[in-house]
Structure 1
């Protein structure tokens, strides 16, 4: 999907330095909504490229009902040969369906507060949360930029239902600035990494214990190859050990999915593994500016040119190998941009610039 085949060497190089173990993406979608689509074939192909499994749940439905979409995710999981595990997207009017769907093979819940116009404290959700608590299931909670603060409700939910694992999606960005201070008080609070800026990934890894962070791509908004590569590189740059990174990429999520006790992997690192020098910062910052336009279907324009200039350093510069790797991704973009299909409104090749922005910000991670 997208330009995964071109980003693949950076992902493969990342895994080569990590202990062997399961790779599990906790945040992928199926469906057709919000001007984006994700088919079963696209999801399975993207997971195969990442040698990964995923949790899957529906994209938003215009009519607010998820009966057919939840059933479609269950059917997809059944035909996927264990590559997919379905979660139930829950709305108050369909809470009575939750136990039946779990009995049929779903292994958790998804709550999207903004799209489905609900509150985590809505008493109508209590039967679903009680079942998740009883069965020790993950509950993925949307915590994206348009959501108001849910931190108090999240903490209250974790305390009231200690058997469930509440996963704040999108780096918990709506509440991370305050919520990270309370992680030690609630052992069942987690965060997934499905956000596109390395700044939020770095904040998550520097503020939250590694055992509470779970890798996620948010396909079709990204892909497992692209975003698990970003997650792993940022984890290494933040100072996590290879064992801790392997846990983030799937080890801990697999334990939660299987109902096993999660591992305590220690505190967040005290300092980054390597300093980020000025030209790396310049390249990464300008590529993120270019990427924001490309996510709206526009051309990268001047920020891409500025990023290229930042990569032009002498061969004896200590960051020359990293900047050369960034430049290789930009060259791949120029070489293939006219031949990549336009999908979901994104400018073709956006994921190559996304990967380049992350590589520039993570000089401590290995290069292909």
Structure 2
């Protein structure tokens, strides 16, 4: 999906350095809503490219989720173990949750904004009770448009110790205050599905590695692109190889199987390597370019500035990293006219996304 085949070497390289173990993307969708779409075939192709498995749930369905949840469950049951369905729940359909779980769904998704949910709504209490009893993951949307939910999150996790609450999108609505309380609630986790490396770096610097789960948010990204970004940011933040492997799927697999999570220690005290000035210039300008591309526009001046930042002498300590960034930019120029426009994104957006991540993560291995 998108330019995965061109980003693949950067993903493969980080996997080469890690101990063998499961890779699991905890946040993917199928459906056709919100100006984006993903088919089951696209999801399976993307998951296979990452040599991974994925949790899947429906995109927004204003008319309810009974049919969409059934479609996700059917896709999972036909996937030879590559997909596991979560049930997307709204208060009017709580009565059907246990049947979905009995049929093979292995968790719950709550989307606070597009489904207009209040996490403190008493009508959701049966959902939390079921998740507590069955030791299920509950993925909660915590994106930028969501008001703070930290008090409800902490109260629910304390009162329902069996559930495993996963705040999506780096919990950006609450991370600034919530991270200080993570030690009080061992059943609270965070997924990495957001498009800027700054948010991933903040998560890895503030939250114990055993609480972070890799996620792509397909179709907004793909497992190859964002699991690569997750692994590189974890490396740059100072995690060791076993901790990075846990983030990429080891811990999520334990949660999915109903086992106790592993305690992998506290967050690192410092980043593994300083980010040089030209890496900073390249990364920030590429993020500016990427924001335009996510709106279907072309990168223009920020891309030119990023290219200039890559032009350094061979004895510059960051020259190998900048050369890798430049290789991704060259791939964009070479292939952009042949890449399919998908979901309104400018073709090649994921090549610039990868380049911005590589520039911000000089400690991680390069292909």
TM-score bin (small chain): over 0.9
2:220 paired with 1:221: yes
Deviations 1:273-306 (A, max 9, x none): 0000100000000000000000000000000000
Residue number in structure 2 paired with 1:92: 91
Q: How does 1:75-86 map to 2 (within 5 A)?
A: 75-86=74-85
Deviations 1:35-59 (A, max 9, x none): 0001000000000000000000000
Residue number in structure 2 paired with 1:61: 61
Tell me if the contact between 2:62 and 2:115 (Cα under 8 Å) persists in the aligned partners: no
Deviations 1:302-348 (A, max 9, x none): 00000000000001100000000000000000000000000000000
State TM-score, norm by structure 1.
Answer: 0.99
Q: How does 1:124-203 map to 2 (within 5 A)?
A: 124-203=123-202
Provide the secondary structure at the position in 2 that maps to 1:314: coil
Q: How does 1:11-50 map to 2 (within 5 A)?
A: 11-50=11-50
Residue number in structure 1 paired with 2:251: 252
Tell me if the contact between 1:33 and 1:62 (Cα under 8 Å) persists in the aligned partners: no
**In 1: Cα distance, 2:156 partner to 2:344 partner:** 36
Superposed CA RMSD: 0.4
Provide the secondary structure at the position in 2 that maps to 1:120: coil
**In 2: Cα distance, 1:47 partner to 1:272 partner:** 30
Provide the secondary structure at the position in 2 that maps to 1:221: coil
How far did residue 8 of structure 1 move?
Answer: 0.2
Tell me if the contact between 2:189 and 2:213 (Cα under 8 Å) persists in the aligned partners: yes
Residue number in structure 1 paired with 2:284: 285
**In 1: Cα distance, 2:127 partner to 2:95 partner:** 8
**In 2: Cα distance, 1:74 partner to 1:222 partner:** 22
Deviations 1:110-168 (A, max 9, x none): 00011011111100011111011000000000000110101111111101111000000
**In 2: Cα distance, 1:55 partner to 1:157 partner:** 23
Deviations 1:189-227 (A, max 9, x none): 000000010000000000000000000000000000000
How far did residue 62 of structure 1 move?
Answer: 2.6
Tell me if the contact between 2:58 and 2:68 (Cα under 8 Å) persists in the aligned partners: yes
Gaps of 5+ in 1: none
Provide the secondary structure at the position in 2 that maps to 1:191: strand
**In 2: Cα distance, 1:30 partner to 1:157 partner:** 28
**In 1: Cα distance, 2:128 partner to 2:180 partner:** 24
Gaps of 5+ in 2: none
**In 2: Cα distance, 1:159 partner to 1:84 partner:** 30
Deviations 1:210-250 (A, max 9, x none): 00000000000000000000000000000000000000000
2:205 paired with 1:206: yes
- Corresponding residue pairs, total: 367
Tell me if the contact between 2:236 and 2:273 (Cα under 8 Å) persists in the aligned partners: yes
**In 2: Cα distance, 1:70 partner to 1:38 partner:** 15
**In 2: Cα distance, 1:345 partner to 1:174 partner:** 26
How far did residue 31 of structure 1 move?
Answer: 0.3
**In 1: Cα distance, 2:19 partner to 2:107 partner:** 27
Provide the secondary structure at the position in 2 that maps to 1:322: helix
Residue number in structure 2 paired with 1:6: 6
Provide the secondary structure at the position in 2 that maps to 1:363: coil
